[in-house]
Structure 1
């Protein structure tokens, strides 16, 4: 990914959406020197709240942007399922550059709207209320239907992040699946761990050093190559004991079995039975 930050011109940006991504992206755009000219949301209160944080931004009264403050870019940051509906209901100035921020949606969504130019501005990060995001470290995946749009989106990306890269739809969709495994599924498994420890009256913080070492190893080497644990060792007695511990949680037991099977099927080797690490 590029680490160069070229000189960029401040852009006028209209935000469509006021949820998790938009509420963190808006202030970051302002801090980077851009002007957020307007905020639209299906919930007026949300639009008003976000616009109030963005100096000079007004609340868009409708999805008809032809008579609203002009923008160089319209960033569509609404839930994935709502993107087609919002696009169908919006009226943009002819030739306007519209970019969605979704990881799973194709650039081809814009082909049904030949009067505008389509693009993708996908931040590869998880966003939650109250969390501070260091945008300089967030990978930004860029795609556009035309060269001019690509240039505009790349420049916008470089104004925010040191990690900006053109990523085509098929690559981005595979990246999004990988991100779900890495983040969403991992978080779900950590939730199970938290619940099991709570049942045993033990603090979740006990796992913190293990989690840090696991992630650091997975980043430093191919994760499959550093797999440890009873499934990797084919330690049947331990697997059986673990499954007995999970009998009160049938769904988690099934997940344990499925993941253990997947580990054993994926490993190109068998860890010696005398291996003692977790």
Structure 2
């Protein structure tokens, strides 16, 4: 299948080659930043840079919106697609209904719509991701489009699910907690250690073991450790004293400490019952 990408950021950098490896032809790349389009095209077999959002004469059948969520409507407003095109977005939080409504308003021809959401974190600095183990959450406005998206997904990944917009939003929220928030905590830990002349790498074995344990059990809460779980106020207050000049980090510490304690206390109460 001929495929065109609208957007050439982190996700497109990984998804476009994965689609090529699954036997598809990446036909065109459009980006508001020409250098990003050139960089992605250089990583593909025979793709061309498309300089505008008018794809009326394109030979592509599938068009992938790989743009930030807040740019989706603006792109749809200017997008011109050929007849018979399928348009999918890759967002975890934008509903399929929104995409359908935008195309109904802005497109002069009927457009088949869907969602092709890889549940993974992407950056151009990392090696290309093997999509075989990446969960693909798919949704379509009609059964024919659904069948085509499932076929594309199954050629790339062994984990393909049909997920509604409401379910996908919940998954996206869970992903933010598990990925974005945990990465931010690691960044705060690095800032704390490095600013005090310590090596952040000293925490590497601890971080690796924490993730290993959390993934090895049905519920990560059961392997929670630390002063918050024990309600060790002496240690907690000592930590907060170190954060007196970092009020935002101190607030994060207090909120997480309270949450861990409440969760652990509830679990203990339930186990007694």
Q: TM-score, normalised by structure 1?
A: 0.89
Question: Which residue, 159, 169, 174 being the options, matches 1:173?
Answer: 169
Question: Which residue, 39, 42, 52 being the options, matches 1:49?
Answer: 39
Question: Which residue, 90, 94, 113 being the options, matches 2:79?
Answer: 90
Match of 1:196 in 2: 192
Q: TM-score, normalised by structure 2?
A: 0.91
**Structure with greater contact order relative to length (CA < 8 Å, sep ≥ 6):** 1
Q: What 5-or-longer segments of structure 2 have no aligned partner?
A: 105-109
TM-aligned CA deviation for residue 126 of structure 1 = 0.9
Q: Which moved more, 1:250-259 or 1:171-180?
A: 250-259
TM-aligned CA deviation for residue 55 of structure 1 = 2.0
Counterpart-to-counterpart distance in 1, 2:196 and 2:160: 45
Conserved 8 A contact 2:61-2:84: no
Alignment of 1:191-230 (within 5 A): 191-221=187-217, 222-230=219-227
Conserved 8 A contact 1:63-1:90: yes
TM-aligned CA deviation for residue 206 of structure 1 = 1.4
Q: Deviations over 1:41-72 (max 9, x none)?
A: 1122322332233222112132111112x112
TM-aligned CA deviation for residue 270 of structure 1 = 5.2
Alignment: residue pair count: 260
| RMSD across aligned positions (CA) | 1.5
Q: What 5-or-longer segments of structure 1 have no aligned partner?
A: 1-10, 272-278
Match of 1:131 in 2: 126
The answer on 1:255 being equivalent to 2:244 is: no
- With over 3 angstroms needed to count, the CA separation of the structure-2 counterparts of 1:154 and 1:184, relative to structure 1, is same
Q: Which moved more, 1:12-21 or 1:90-99?
A: 90-99
